[in-house]
Amino acid sequence: MSQIDVTIMGQLYKLACKKDEQAALIQAAAYLDEKMCHFRDTTKIKGTDKIAVMAALTISVQLLATKAPDGPFSELSMAEINTQLQGMNKVLDGLLAPQENLF
**Does residue 29 carry a pLDDT above 80?**
yes
Give me the pLDDT at residue 62, please: 80
Taking alpha carbons only, the member of 15, 5, 13, 57 closest to residue 36 is 57
Highest mean pLDDT among 43-47, 52-56, 81-85: 52-56
Per-residue model confidence as pLDDT tens digits over 88-102:
878 878 877 766 665
Q: Is residue 22 part of a domain?
A: no
Q: Is residue 65 part of a domain?
A: yes
Number of structural domains (the chain) is: 1
Q: Is residue 10 part of a domain?
A: no
Per-residue model confidence as pLDDT tens digits over 62-81:
887 776 666 666 677 777 87
Q: Is residue 32 part of a domain?
A: yes
Confirm if 44 and 95 have CB atoms less than 8 A apart: no
**Does residue 56 carry a pLDDT above 70?**
yes
Per-residue model confidence as pLDDT tens digits over 9-26:
999 999 998 999 999 999
